[in-house]
């Protein structure tokens, strides 16, 4: 699957956002090494702290289905109704979840502004000196 397709899936996942408290809508599309895609959106909560980010929703859906190997994740986010979305970068907690399952030298994070404008990073660029399962060996 090419990244444009993955980006489209992230953009449409954003439409499912449950974000009545922040009105900030996030979408993610996670690509497995076998080419399967798991989408996710942010799910907020009246008690605030149970909120789950879009990226983690996608990872937890995939991992709970038995997936363990991933190539890339596409992420977009903007305030509801915003005319000019900006690039949306994964939060620190989501980066930590990524390094649990992904090789920091290979795994790619596609940060989306819109269908034509996106940037691609390796996980190691967004989480330098990250703590991973390798540190416990």
Instruction: Give the footprint of ligand THU on this chain (CB under 6 A).
Output: 19, 22, 24, 26, 42, 44, 51, 53-55, 90-91, 94
For residue 108, the Cα-to-chain-centroid distance in whole angstroms is: 10
Write the Ramachandran bin of 106: left for phi over 0, alpha for psi from -120 to 50, otherwise beta: alpha
Residue 57 beta carbon to ligand THU: minimum distance, rounded to whole angstroms: 8
Residue 105 beta carbon to ligand THU: minimum distance, rounded to whole angstroms: 22
Is 55 assigned a catalytic role?
A: yes
Smaller CB separation from ligand THU, 11 or 91: 91
Smaller CB separation from ligand THU, 1 or 43: 43
Smaller CB separation from ligand THU, 22 or 32: 22
Task: Tell me how far apart the terminal alpha carbons of the chain are, to the nearest angstrom.
Answer: 34
**How many angstroms separate the CA atoms of 103 and 132, rounded?**
9
Residue 87 beta carbon to ligand THU: minimum distance, rounded to whole angstroms: 11
Which residues touch 63 (CB under 8 Å, ≥6 apart)? Answer: 101
SS3 state at 54: helix
Choose, from 34, 44, 55, 100, the residue flagged as catalytic.
55
Catalytic residues: 55
């Amino acid at each position: 699957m090419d990244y444009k397709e993955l980006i489209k899936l992230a953009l449409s996942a954003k439409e499912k956002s449950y974000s009545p408290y922040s009105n900030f809508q996030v979408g993610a599309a996670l690509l497995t090494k076998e080419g399967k895609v798991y989408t996710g959106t942010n799910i907020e909560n009246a008690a605030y702290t149970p909120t789950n980010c879009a990226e983690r929703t996608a990872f937890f859906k995939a991992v709970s289905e038995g997936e363990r190997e991933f190539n890339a994740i596409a992420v977009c986010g903007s305030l509801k109704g915003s005319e000019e979305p900006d690039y949306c970068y994964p939060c620190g907690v989501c980066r930590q979840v990524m390094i649990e399952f992904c090789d920091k030298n290979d795994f790619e994070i596609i940060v989306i502004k819109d269908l034509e404008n996106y940037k691609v990073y390796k996980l190691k660029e967004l989480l330098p000196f990250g703590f991973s399962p390798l540190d416990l060996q």
